Amino acid sequence: MSRKAANIISAQIILKNDCVLGLATGSTPIGIYDTLTHWCEKGDLDFSEVKTVNLDEYVGLDGTHDQSYRYFMNKNLFDRVNINKENTNVPNGKAENAEEECERYHNVIESMGGIDLQLLGIGNNGHIGFNEPADVFEEKVHKVELTESTIQANSRLFDSIDDVPRYAYTMGIGEIMSAKRILIVASGKVKAPIVKELIEGPVRPEVPASILKFHNDVILIADEDALSLVK
């Protein structure tokens, strides 16, 4: 599954060597990043002109904190391939003014001319990035309060659940949807109900990922367990 997703990302880089990749964190993309690293080490892939924007970052965590998403990206991809770190972008979790940081990061995405390929995971509750179930689809980068289910899901990575940040910066639905192509990856039986909802359910902000039905170029890669409830 990771290899198939990595194939799509590598094809994008080969097609356009200065492409803009929207990247995700979490356990799902680790295998993808390992595969891309392997191909780069072999000389089959060149990241030297690639630009990246990450979906999200915890509010309050510095980029050196081992649970920050900047740290995750450096460890799992950026430090392992020939990318220019100045071309990699992650929200600043330690920004003093949340409103200004949201505007700054939105402008970063805009200044790149949009995202060529956006990689997504999907939360058990249907969140993409940290766009949690809500009454409306948030359009632009915003600060979000994480739901209890997301905090519980992420607590396995922290010493205790009390250490999990309660807020995050995340790209908005509008910015995700403006990507030219979207690649969404899901694995495991725990994701089966939400994958079924994504494919067969209606579009509604209570299931943020459902908006992807309105995008004209989405690829879903999932294993048999994640697809087990789909007709």
Q: Up-side HSE of residue 142: CA atoms within 13 Å toward CB?
A: 15
Residues designated as active site: 56, 125, 127, 132
Q: First vs last Cα of the chain: how many Å apart?
A: 20
Say if CB 10 and CB 19 are below 8 A apart: no
Q: Is residue 186 helix, strand or coil?
A: strand
Q: How far, in Å, CA of 192 to CA of 87, rounded?
A: 35
| 3-state SS, one letter per residue, for 86-146 | HHEECCCCCCCCHHHHHHHHHHHHHHCCCCCEEEECCCCCCCECCECCCCCCCCCCEEEEC
Q: How far, in Å, CA of 132 to CA of 117, rounded?
A: 22
Strand partners, 205: none
Angle (nearest 5°) at CA 222 between 76 and 91: 40
Sign of CA dihedral 167, 173, 179, 184: positive
Q: How far, in Å, CA of 223 to CA of 86, rounded?
A: 35
The position carrying tokens 């979906």 is: 55
